[in-house]
Amino acid sequence: MTGRMRRIGARASGFPRSVSRWSGRMRLSTAVALAVLAGVVLAAVAEWVLFVAFHPQRGGTSVDVTKLALTVVGGVGGVVALVIAYRRQRDVEQGRFVERFGAAAAQLGATDVAVRIAGVYAMAGVADESDGLRRQQCIDVLCGYLRLPYDPEHGSSGRTKRIVTTPSARTAENLDPGKVEEHQEYRQNDREVRATIVRVIASRLRPAAEYDWSARDFDFRTAYLEDADFSGTTFLGAARFDHATFSGDARFDGATFSGAEFANATFSRAAGFATATFSGDAGFDHASFSGDAEFVGATFLRAARFSHASFSGGAEFVRASFSLGAEFVDASFSGTAEFV
């Protein structure tokens, strides 16, 4: 019943958003013309009603009708003015968003680590003060940063560049082979920036968050996540962790997912999903668990897929609940597997 009410509420809230997007794409001249047309129609209807109400046989005069008609026309003009003011304010807000979004994105691309960390909080601030598509854009940038190429061996290093020099091939025509240089660029101390992004996102997904991002989509596919703590978070939108690599412990204890994909994900240490709730499909196909996989008390309300998953450590599914079946086709268990 709760899920049904949530879907009904989503459709109800989606209607005004769709109207807002439709009106936002409308040209200003078109909006004004529609407002004038609507006003003229209302004025005609109102004048007809007023004429009937103030008909001379009922004690009214033509002067009364004219005064009231002029009042209606003035109201139409007010509506047009409001339409213009609304569109002007919307354009100002859009310009302010673009300016702040661009500045935060520029900070995230800076070479200095302190500037990039400031960019994380700046982008989160823009998302906090936005909604709908604008908030999703900010979240996509933060998630996109975690999907950038990353070398964990240099994650906490101050090195920004590595030059590898190798001799070129010697040929009959080229007696002096010379050297070939390969330049590898690094983002200085990028580990702290990435950890900040994870903390900022997770803090907006917990019940006590001042700004709630849980209804948005999060794309962590192919991301490299170190000691990621998403415990107690709520993902009402799509949560994609396909092909993600979790270095260190991955904590999702008590998390709630409307739909989660961890297909081909790699968990190098403990993977904690204790008391987690999956209201949508949970996909762990081909996932690799090198440490303990803790699903104690987890609830799977839809399909739970663990086909071809490999469990090198302990696999704990004690008190786990599967409502629509669980698939462990060709899954391998090297350690202890508990389904008490």
DSSP β-ladder status, 256-257 and 304-305 = unpaired
By the 10 Å C-beta count (0-12 exposed, 13-18 middle, 19+ buried), 237 is classed as middle
Q: What percent of the chain has pLDDT over 90?
A: 58
242 plus 310 within the same structural domain? yes
Residue where a domain terminates, one of 108, 129, 163: 108
Tens-digit pLDDT profile for residues 297-319: 999 999 999 999 999 999 999 99
181 plus 271 within the same structural domain? no
Residues 6 or more apart in contact with residue 161 via CB below 8 angstroms: 183, 184, 185, 186
Number of domains the chain contains: 3
What local confidence, expressed as pLDDT, does residue 273 receive?
98
Within 10 Å of residue 260's Cβ, how many Cβ atoms?
23
Binned at pLDDT 50, 70 and 90, residue 143 comes out as very high
By residue count, the chain amounts to 340
251 plus 328 within the same structural domain? yes
Rounded to the nearest integer, the mean pLDDT of the chain is 82
Q: How far apart are CA 138 and CA 25, in angstroms?
A: 21
Binned at pLDDT 50, 70 and 90, residue 153 comes out as confident
274 plus 322 within the same structural domain? yes
173 plus 64 within the same structural domain? no
237 plus 178 within the same structural domain? no
Tens-digit pLDDT profile for residues 179-213: 666 555 557 789 999 999 999 999 999 999 999 99
Asked whether residue 196 is assigned to any structural domain, the reply reads no
Long-range contacts of 66-75 (CB under 8 A, 24+ apart): 69/43, 72/42, 72/43, 72/46, 72/47, 73/39, 73/43, 75/39
158 plus 81 within the same structural domain? no
**Domain region containing 104:** 12-108
Asked whether residue 319 is assigned to any structural domain, the reply reads yes
What local confidence, expressed as pLDDT, does residue 241 receive?
98
Residue 3 has pLDDT above 50, yes or no: no
Asked whether residue 225 is assigned to any structural domain, the reply reads yes
Residue 172 has pLDDT above 60, yes or no: no
Q: How far apart are CA 4 and CA 12, in angstroms?
A: 12
The pTM score is: 0.72
Asked whether residue 141 is assigned to any structural domain, the reply reads no
Main-chain dihedrals φ then ψ at residue 230, nearest 5 degrees? -115, 25
91 plus 35 within the same structural domain? yes
Asked whether residue 137 is assigned to any structural domain, the reply reads no
180 plus 259 within the same structural domain? no
Asked whether residue 83 is assigned to any structural domain, the reply reads yes
Asked whether residue 322 is assigned to any structural domain, the reply reads yes
Residue 19 has pLDDT above 60, yes or no: no
227 plus 267 within the same structural domain? yes
What local confidence, expressed as pLDDT, does residue 188 receive?
73
86 plus 181 within the same structural domain? no
Q: How far apart are CA 179 and CA 8, in angstroms?
A: 67
Asked whether residue 84 is assigned to any structural domain, the reply reads yes
Q: How far apart are CA 21 and CA 133, in angstroms?
A: 10
Residue 54 has pLDDT above 80, yes or no: no
DSSP β-ladder status, 260-261 and 288-289 = unpaired
Distances (CA, A) of 52 to 5, 49, 58, 298, 301: 47, 5, 9, 70, 63
181 plus 229 within the same structural domain? no
Binned at pLDDT 50, 70 and 90, residue 284 comes out as very high
